[in-house]
Amino acid sequence: MPDLDSTLRRLLGELSVPGPEGIAHEIADRIAANGPLAVQAILKTMRDSEGKHEEECWADDAKIGAAVFSSEDAKEGPRAFLEKRAPEFSGR
């Protein structure tokens, strides 16, 4: 499986932006800086929501979100913030 950072850079890099430091790369960097479980959950929720009613989407989101919020990465983000350091996400 390709890593999330390179996939996001490739997809967003295909947008037409001026220069190598265009807005697409800035967006990709900001997304990639988040915990991988959260990013993967958001992508799954977006992909799985097509053709569903809103109530079903919210229910799916709650299930997926619960797993993310109970992860080690969910604890690492606030801990790193309080310690004034970059988070070190493990994907767990």
> pLDDT: is 8 or 88 the higher one?
88
Q: Taking all residues of the chain, what is their mean pLDDT, rounded to a whole number? A: 84
Q: What's residue 17's pLDDT? A: 55
Q: What's residue 70's pLDDT? A: 93
C-beta separation of 76 from 68 below 8 A = no
Residue 46 has pLDDT above 70, yes or no: yes
The CB-based long-range contact list for 75-81 (8 Å cut-off, 24+ gap) reads 76/35, 77/35
Inter-CA distances, 49 with 4, 8, 54, 55, 64, Å: 20, 20, 8, 10, 12
Q: What's residue 56's pLDDT? A: 93
Count other Cβ atoms within 10 Å, centred on residue 12: 19
Q: Give me the CATH code for the 35-92 domain, please.
A: 1.10.12.10
Distance CA 31, CA 83 (A): 21
Q: What's residue 32's pLDDT? A: 87
